[in-house]
Structures are given as structure tokens and as C-alpha cells.
């Protein structure tokens, strides 16, 4: 009866995020990307908000999908290099139960050995979604 301030909110162990539909693709770090000044930050991430910034990538990757920068932006994420050939299993945009967002990238380390192979992940996000946290999971 005196519980006016009680709120029935889930605890951390009960909080399960929900996946939100998003467009994404990935590419290997080919010669063109290795030689270009991509403007990635120290974590290997760049937020692309206009066509001029995107052109660096479209020059190297002519199959990039078109982006309407009036309603969305592209987040570019470079996966850390490994000594095995990485295979991206899944790219998910997840909204947590506290209205925050994260991009979850699941990568399988294959048995094929290759030095310093990275991939670039591109995620097209609506502008109303703030820049999400990035979580890379090696399987």
C-alpha cells in the first residue's frame, strides 16, 4: 500500500536486448582499402554522414549499396587483424532494454592461415539511432 515509488523494472539478469533490422555488408581489406586514407579512429571505426565521405569507400568498392544520407548514416568498422582467415558469421543491431544500441559482430576464425587479414563491416543506420557500442565476438 505504501509502495508508490516501486517500479517493476527488470534486473540486469532479466534484460534481454532485441534485434533491430538493419542493412549491413562486409568486405576484405583489399589493396585499394589498404592504400586509402579511410579516416578510421583509434578503434578502427568511422561514422560516414555524407556522400563525399562515402566516396572513399565507393571508389574502392563499386558494389556498395546507395545510401540516402538525409535519413541514415553508415558506420564502418575494421575488424582487428588475426593470423587466420576470418569469416563473419553474423552482424546484428541490438537495442538493449535501457534504449541503448550495440552492433554485435560474430566472427569465426577459420583454419586457413593468413597474416594480418582484416575485414571492414558496413552498417547502415537511421539517423535517429545514436552511434552504437561495438562488440566483436570471436568464435
pLDDT in tens, 10-54: 555 566 789 999 999 998 888 888 888 999 999 999 999 999 999
Q: Work out the percent of the chain whose per-residue pLDDT is above 70.
A: 88
Mean model confidence pLDDT for the chain? 86
Of residues 87 and 70, the one with the higher pLDDT is: 70
> Quick one: pLDDT at residue 14?
62
> Quick one: pLDDT at residue 52?
95
> Quick one: pLDDT at residue 111?
83
**Where do the domains of the chain lie?**
25-138
Beta-carbon-side half-sphere exposure of residue 1 (alpha carbons within 13 Å): 0
Most confident of 43-52, 77-86, 104-113: 43-52
Amino acid at each position: 500500500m505504501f509502495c508508490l515509488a516501486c517500479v517493476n523494472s527488470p534486473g540486469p539478469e532479466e534484460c534481454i536486448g532485441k534485434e533491430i533490422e538493419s542493412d549491413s555488408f562486409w568486405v576484405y581489406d583489399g589493396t585499394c582499402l589498404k592504400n586509402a586514407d579511410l579516416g578510421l579512429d583509434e578503434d578502427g571505426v568511422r561514422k560516414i554522414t555524407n556522400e563525399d565521405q562515402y566516396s572513399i569507400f565507393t571508389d574502392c568498392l563499386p558494389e556498395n549499396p546507395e545510401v540516402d544520407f538525409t535519413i541514415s548514416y553508415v558506420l564502418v568498422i575494421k575488424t582487428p587483424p588475426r593470423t587466420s582467415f576470418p569469416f563473419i558469421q553474423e552482424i546484428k543491431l541490438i537495442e538493449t532494454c535501457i534504449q541503448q544500441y550495440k552492433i554485435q559482430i560474430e566472427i569465426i576464425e577459420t583454419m586457413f592461415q593468413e597474416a594480418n587479414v582484416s575485414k571492414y563491416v558496413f552498417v547502415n543506420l537511421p539517423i535517429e539511432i545514436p552511434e552504437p557500442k561495438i562488440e566483436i565476438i570471436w568464435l
